[in-house]
Amino acid sequence: MSIVLSDVTKRFGDSLVVSRVSLEVRDGELFVLLGSSGSGKSTLLRMVAGLLLPDSGRIELHGRDVTYLPPQQRGTGLVFQNYSVFRHMTVAQNIEFGLRIRRTPALRRKARREELLDLVGLSGMGSRYPDQLSGGQQQRVALARALAYEPAVLLLDEPFGALDVQTRSQMREALKDIQRRLGVTAVLVTHDQDEAFELADRIGVIDHGHLLEVGAPDDLYFHPQSEFVAGFLGGGNVLAGRAEGRFIRLGSVALPIPEAATEQEEGAPVRIVFRPEFVVVKAGASAPKDGVHSLGRGRVVRRTFAGALERVRLEVQGLQGARPVTPPLEYGQRGTPIEATRPASASEREPLKAEDDVWVGIRSFHVLAPSGLKVLIHVDGSAVADEGAMLGLLLGQAAGGPTTLLAVAEESQQVEEWQRRLEEILKRVGAARSPWLQSRVRIGKTVPEVLAEAQEGFYEIVVVGGPARGDRRNALREELSSRLLAQAQAAVLRVKRARPQLKRLLVCTAGGEPGKRDVVMGGRVARRAGAVVTLFHVDREPVSPEEDVRVKRHLEQGAAMLSALGVQAEIRSARGPVIEKILDESAAGDYDLIVLGAPTGPGSGRYGEIDHMAPVLREADRPILIVP
Ligand code: ADP
Ligand code: MG
């Protein structure tokens, strides 16, 4: 390994710019670090070069720990975007500069300089000054200078960023060629996806200082693990559905889960990605042929000429519930947006125009890695919702899945004000925006917008403020909670007052069988938060011996399930009025979170007529997670 980074972290003030990056770059490899502007690429590269020290972590070059070595002792050659050449020196003097410092004898220096001029295609230009060269030629000088003393690794920070398109493409070819010939290990930083594809042996995608995925260009393109990489590399279509047996349910469509996909938990969100060129569009009434997964009928929204390819934006009708991650929904659009490309030859054979009715199918698709517990936090301006945000962020952090802070603005003029408010909340808890922590403001009516966000994003837990005395938003939060449970099948976390930690969970099962989903959900939260669980069962009245045995068995199964998740659990039971007993236990045990199964409505049988949720919610001051 030429370069080994282990857990490299860098902060500027209180902003985390590079977060625990671990990476191995192989000998002779051209590694491209790809990310949008501000993602931390340059900072990472500067740490490898020794121009910046990491706050923690370790950097090795060729097996040597260089973490705290000064730049000149590392053997790295550097090329920056703004031509790093000395204006007052000739090309030859520029190239020889490093050799002079290293006291290389004049003859050897001259030979090396000629070699390098030849290598970068500047033979005969040694006596010119940089101002007499084009931008591309100046970067060739910078490259030759960086290579002069045969660096162990070559580091390039957006080296072609300032060049015009044509020169840039020539420079890429030249760089690739030179790097190959010398066999020098190189790391190049860019925000340009095409550049990364063209140059890289392997690509590392970085976002908000996190190295998300590393792989060969085609591997990342066809088999990304995360939504971000799927969307960032080439316009990908990402849809989210749910696992249903061996299928992925996307509205009225069921797609078979490919053999190669990782095991999917029943009912859990599953996200698939397919590239525009894998979409099959067929005009007329007949369905796409064999070997194509049909997505059903759709409509052409628009068609764009793009040279050898034609881009077709489609809207497909039957995929309700499938959430389009990318491309995003456009205003007023109701169906699911799908991006397709077709070769120009196809568009000649079978022309398409806006508003055409078509069949839409996909040749193949790829399943993304499961995303962990997704937490959505609704902020409505009330103190209880802010408390909810505190706990939700704590939970999100523990859950390690994506967390979104959401506000709904009634009108677009209020969006900025809400954004500021969300920003304040993040600041208050010292949470840094990351690929897993986002904030968003939607415009419209509260209940439908939060519901839509929860459904589209397949959030498993939605945090809503608890009831607060005399708050006019109480009714809205009640309605929101019950619709989230019923329509989005999301667990709802109601919070009156945040807790500083999530260490003790009380999972209540009352009157009859303990619900399986509440125990599983409690277990998943506890596992991630490192909390212990108390399984608590209340019987109102003395029960028959058979009933007693049955309940005991269920509780033991619950405890076994928790221990299989690696969660420490104890069982407690009580007899008497359910609500009082739950309230007593929650106060006595100093729990951080109470988990309750949602009542399934009067007469539905599962919890009998006991609606223990509402009174517990009213009386207890602990956060309550209601599981559908
Ligand atoms: P990239 O090269 O991917 O565009 P950088 O590594 O240059 O990103 O910067 C990442 C983040 O760190 C940016 O938000 C930038 O503003 C910040 N940053 C970079 N250098 C400094 C510095 N010396 N002091 C404070 N903030 C910095
Ligand atoms: Mg940069």
More confident residue, 180 or 228: 180
Q: Exposed (0-12), middle (13-18) or buried (19+): which is 311, by Cβ within 10 Å?
A: middle
Check pocket membership of 19 for ligand 1, CB cut-off 6 A. Answer: no
Cβ contact 335:299 at 8 Å? yes
CA distances from 223 to 170, 262, 269, 364 (A): 29, 12, 18, 12
Radius of gyration of the chain (CA): 30
Question: What's the CA-to-centroid distance between 193 and ligand 2, angstroms?
Answer: 15
211 lines ligand 1 (CB under 6 A): no
Confidence of residue 604 (pLDDT cuts 50, 70, 90): very low
Overall average pLDDT of the 279-307 stretch = 86
pLDDT at residue number 330: 61
Ligand nearest to C-alpha 159: 2
How many whole angstroms from 161 Cα to the centroid of ligand 2?
10
pLDDT digits (tens, 9 = 90+) for 124-178: 999 999 999 998 999 999 999 999 988 989 999 999 988 888 889 999 999 999 9
Of all atoms in ligand 1, which is nearest to the CA of residue 46?
6
Task: Indicate the range of 75-84, 224-233, 408-417, 610-619 predicted with least confidence.
Answer: 610-619
Give the pLDDT confidence score for residue 603 in this predicted structure. Answer: 37
CA of 170 to the centre of ligand 1 (A): 29
Q: Which atom of ligand 1 is nearest to the CA of 191?
A: 3
Gap between the Cα atoms of 592 and 490, Å rounded: 20
The Cα 583–Cα 571 span in angstroms is 17
Of the pLDDT bands very low, low, confident and very high (cuts 50, 70, 90), residue 292 is: very high
Picking from 183, 217, 213, 214, the residue whose alpha carbon sits closest to that of residue 200 is 217
Query: Once rounded to an integer, what is the mean pLDDT over residues 441-466?
Result: 89
**What is the residue with the minimal CA distance to atom 16 of ligand 1?**
38
pLDDT value at position 37? Answer: 93
- Structure tokens belonging to residue 216: 């060969």
**What distances in angstroms separate CA 580 from CA 255, 391, 400, 509, 577, one per listed residue?**
48, 25, 35, 14, 6
**Ligand 1 pocket, 36 CB below 6 A?**
no
Q: Which ligand is nearest to the CA of 38?
A: 1
Residue nearest to atom 6 of ligand 1 (CA): 40
CA 549 to the chain's CA centroid: 46
Residue partners of 336: CB distance under 8 A and separation at least 6? 239, 251, 315, 316, 317, 319, 322, 324
- Residue 545 CA, chain-centre distance (Å), reads 51
Residue whose token pair is 């799908």: 338
Ligand 1 atom closest to 41 (CA): 3
- How far is Cα 13 from Cα 153, in angstroms, rounded to an integer? 30
Instruction: Examine the pLDDT at 202 and tell me if it is beyond 70.
Output: yes
Peptide bond before 500: cis, by omega within 30 degrees of 0? no
Phi (first) and psi of residue 624, to 5 degrees: -125, 125
Integer Cα distance of 323 and 270 in angstroms = 10
User: Residue 40 C-alpha to ligand 1 middle, in angstroms?
Assistant: 6
Q: Is 179 in the pocket of ligand 1 (CB under 6 A)?
A: no
Q: Are 528 and 507 in contact (CB under 8 A)?
A: no
Least confident of 206-220, 400-414, 444-458: 444-458
Q: Considering every ligand atom, which ligand is closest to the CA of 80?
A: 2
Hey, whose CA ends up nearest to atom 23 of ligand 1? 12
Contact 360, 382 (CB under 8 A): no
Cα separations in angstroms, 599 against 20, 64, 124, 603, 628: 44, 62, 84, 10, 8
Average pLDDT over residues 568-588: 88
Question: Does ligand 1 have an atom closer than 6 angstroms to the CB of 43?
Answer: yes
**Is the minimum distance from the CB of 42 to ligand 1 under 6 angstroms?**
yes
pLDDT at 25: 97
Within 10 Å of residue 15's Cβ, how many Cβ atoms? 10
Backbone angles phi, psi at 72, to 5 degrees: -70, -15
pLDDT digits (tens, 9 = 90+) for 369-401: 877 788 999 999 999 999 999 999 999 988 877
Q: Is the C-beta atom of 40 inside 6 A of ligand 1?
A: yes
Instruction: Supply angle C-alpha 557, 562, 568, rounded to 5.
Output: 120
Question: Rounded to the nearest 5 degrees, what angle is found at the Cα of 138, between the Cα atoms of 135 and 142?
Answer: 135
Distance 42 CA to ligand 1 centre (A): 7
Q: What is the pTM of this model?
A: 0.77
- Count Cβ neighbours within 10 Å for each residue of 169-206 and write b for 16 or more, e otherwise: eebbebbbebbeeeebbbbbbbbbbebbbbbbbbbbbb
Please report which ligand is nearest the Cα atom of 39: 1
C-alpha closest to that of 56 among 3, 114, 26, 16: 16
Per-residue pLDDT averaged across 65-74, rounded? 93
Task: Tell the residue nearest (CA) to atom 22 of ligand 1.
Answer: 12
Ligand with smallest separation from the Cα of 51: 1
The answer to whether 617 and 581 are in contact (CB under 8 A) is: no
State in Å: Cα 209 to ligand 1 middle: 10
Query: What pLDDT, on the 0 to 100 scale, is given for residue 328?
Result: 60
Report how far ligand 2's centroid is from the alpha carbon of 83 (Å). Answer: 14
Nearest CA to ligand 1 atom 25: 12
Instruction: Please report the pLDDT score of residue 144 as a whole number.
Output: 93
Residue nearest to atom 14 of ligand 1 (CA): 38
| Residue 582 amino acid letter | I
487 DSSP 8-state letter: I
Kind and range of the H or E element at 177?
helix 165-182
Mention every residue, 6+ apart, whose C-beta is less than 8 A from residue 194.
Answer: none
pLDDT, residue 431, reads 77
Q: Is the CB of 12 under 6 A from ligand 1?
A: yes
Mean pLDDT is lowest, of 2-16, 42-56, 59-73, 79-93, for: 79-93
Q: Which amino acid is at 15?
A: S
Distance 362 CA to ligand 1 centre (A): 41
pLDDT at 307: 83
- pLDDT for residue 125: 93
pLDDT over 90 at 34, yes or no: yes
Distance between CA atoms of 181 and 119, rounded to whole angstroms? 9
- What is the structure's pLDDT at 554? 82
Pairing of β 491-495 and β 504-510: unpaired
Beta carbon of 412 within 6 Å of any ligand 1 atom: no
Rounded to the nearest angstrom, the distance between the alpha carbon of 432 and the centre of ligand 2 is: 20
pLDDT digits (tens, 9 = 90+) for 294-335: 999 999 999 998 888 899 999 998 786 566 666 665 655 667
Q: Is the CB of 38 under 6 A from ligand 1?
A: yes
**Cα of 433 to ligand 1 centre, how many Å?**
14
